[in-house]
Structure 1
Amino acid sequence: MIKTTPFDASEYLTSDEMIAEYLSLTLEDENPEVFISALGDVAKAKGMVQIAKASGLSRESLYENLRSGSMLRDETVQKILKTFEAKLVAGSSKPADAA
C-alpha cells in the first residue's frame, strides 16, 4: 500500500526569491482565491504568529483573512506583503514586440 501525504507548498518556500516567484505566478490566475491561498502558504512558511504580530493583525484575523472565500481588502494584503518584504508590481501582459 502506498501512503501519500497532502501537498503543502509552504514546505518549499525557503527563500525570498522563491516566495516572490510563487506570489507572482499566483497573481496570473483569474481566480483571486489562488492568490489568497498563496498568501496563506507564505504566512505558514514564515510563521503565522510572527506574521500576525508584524502585520498588526490578530492571529485569528490573519487566519480568517487567508481562508478560502474571504474578501481580502487591499489594506490587509499590503500589511501582509510588507511583513514578507514583498510588494505587488504591475506589468503589461502584451508581449514587448507587439506594438
Structure 2
Amino acid sequence: MPDQTVTRPYDAADYLETPEAVAAFLEAAAEEDDPAFLTRALGIAARSHGMMKLSRDSGLSREGLYKALGEDGNPTLSTLMAVAKALDLRIAFLPRE
C-alpha cells in the first residue's frame, strides 16, 4: 500500500514572521493594482501579527479590524495607516517604472 500524503491548508500568515517579510508580501500584493486583493493581503498580514495584538497596537477594535480587513472590507486611510504602524511598517509612494 502506498504512503498516504497528509496535507494541511496553506496559510501565508504562518510565514510572515518579520516586518521585512510582511512588507515584501504587501508590496507584491500592491503591485496587482487590485484594492480587494490588497485588502485580503492586509488581512493575512494582520492575522500573522495576531488580531488581538494588532487591535492593542493599532488602537482599533478587533471587530473593526475584522470588518475592514475581511472579504468585503474597505479600510479607510486612517485604518490602513494605523495597521501599518502596528505592523512596524510605513506607507510609501513610489513612481511607477
Normalised TM-score (structure 2): 0.87
Contact 2:39 2:74 in 1 (8 A): no
| Secondary structure of the corresponding residue to residue 70 of structure 1 | coil
1:5 to 8, 11, 16: 8
Aligned to 2:91: 88
5+ unaligned residues in a row in structure 1: which ranges?
95-99
Matches within 5 A, 1:1-99: 2-94=5-97
For each residue in 1:5-38, what CA deviation from the matched residue of structure 2 results, as whole angstroms up to 9, or x when unmatched? 2220000101121111111111111211121111
Runs of 4+ in 1 over 6 A off after TM superposition: none
Report percent identity of matched pairs: 30
Partner amino acid for 2:26? L
* Aligned residue-pair number: 94
Structure ranking higher on relative contact order (CA contacts 8 Å, 6+ apart): 2
